Amino acid sequence: MKRIPLCTAAFSAFLVACSPVSARQGPPVPVNVIGESAAIPYARVARLALESDIVLDATIRSVARIAPAEAPGLAPGHVRFYVTADVGALIRANGPLPARVGYLVDVPFDPRGRAPNLKRQRIIAFARAVAGRPDQVQLVTPDAQFTWAPALDQRVRDVVREVIAPDAPPAITGIGNAFHVPGTLPGEGETQIFLQTTTGAPVSLLILRRPGEQKRWALSLGDIIDEAGGAPKPDTLAWYRLSCGLPDALPDTSLQSQDADNAAIAREDYAFVRESLGRCDDGRTG
């Protein structure tokens, strides 16, 4: 069985450096798999990249429609297919993969209420390996397949690079201690908020109040709390971890050592951070 090789012998690269665009000529088929690729929010791409261990750039070779009675969990207005796809490039993988793989995918009906024609469509899919079946993969969600587009391809590769980086920010699981320390001048002070993470790595927020200046905040990934790093830029993995991982409000348990006035300021500063991050927009309606 022919297999798609890794770009280098070191799996740490996870094939992100591979460039399938130059090797696969011709424009993508202008048929949507799941909405418009350009409209897929960063948060959704990040979530799928984090949940998958395989990210494929492939072209669908064959399609077999699954009867609704044999498609448990199928959402209304969708159809389930079993597809085989020719792998053009592995954007992420833990090892080589067969040149052709099969999987199930749920796609919405087109505007005319018909099942879309997926054959020969170039796609990007987020998947996991199937134990004992090297020629099969499982999408991380039933609809984790998108029509290939240059902008989406670049975004996916950028996100995967962030996800596999050794210094990638960890997932947030909760909030530890938080406290506000007033300064010597009226309106001056600092709030420090320590976050809990899946890896135990230290992550904290620093909110600064200075008289005559606009309030600002910074994220620290490490033991040293420093304002130099500033707030994470939107549409980065650090931004995603905070925007999609932080609770809406500072829990009371984080402020047990604070008096009422300082606790109130700490809550205001946390609300300022949440507002500046914006909503975690996954681009899904349900």
Domain coordinates in residue numbering, the chain: 3-164, 172-277
Which residues lie across from 108 on neighbouring strands?
78
The reported pLDDT for the residue numbered 35 is 43
CB 110 within 8 A of CB 79: no
Task: Say which residue the tokens 């609704």 belong to.
Answer: 68
Per-residue pLDDT tens for 32-85? 444 445 578 999 999 999 999 999 999 999 999 999 999 999 999 999 999 999
The reported pLDDT for the residue numbered 2 is 47
Per-residue pLDDT tens for 219-270? 999 888 878 889 999 999 999 999 999 999 999 999 998 999 999 999 999 9
Task: Say which residue the tokens 């946390």 belong to.
Answer: 270
Q: Counting every residue, how long is the chain?
A: 286
pLDDT at 191 over 70: yes
Q: Is 66 helix (H, G, I), strand (E, B) or coil?
A: strand
Q: Which CATH architecture has domain 3-164?
A: Beta Barrel (2.40)
Give the integer Cα–Cα distance in Å for 79 and 84. 16
The reported pLDDT for the residue numbered 113 is 87
Give the CA radius of gyration of the chain: 23
Give the integer Cα–Cα distance in Å for 36 and 38. 5
Give the integer Cα–Cα distance in Å for 200 and 222. 11
Assign 281 a pLDDT band (cuts: 50, 70, 90). Answer: confident
Give the integer Cα–Cα distance in Å for 111 and 28. 20
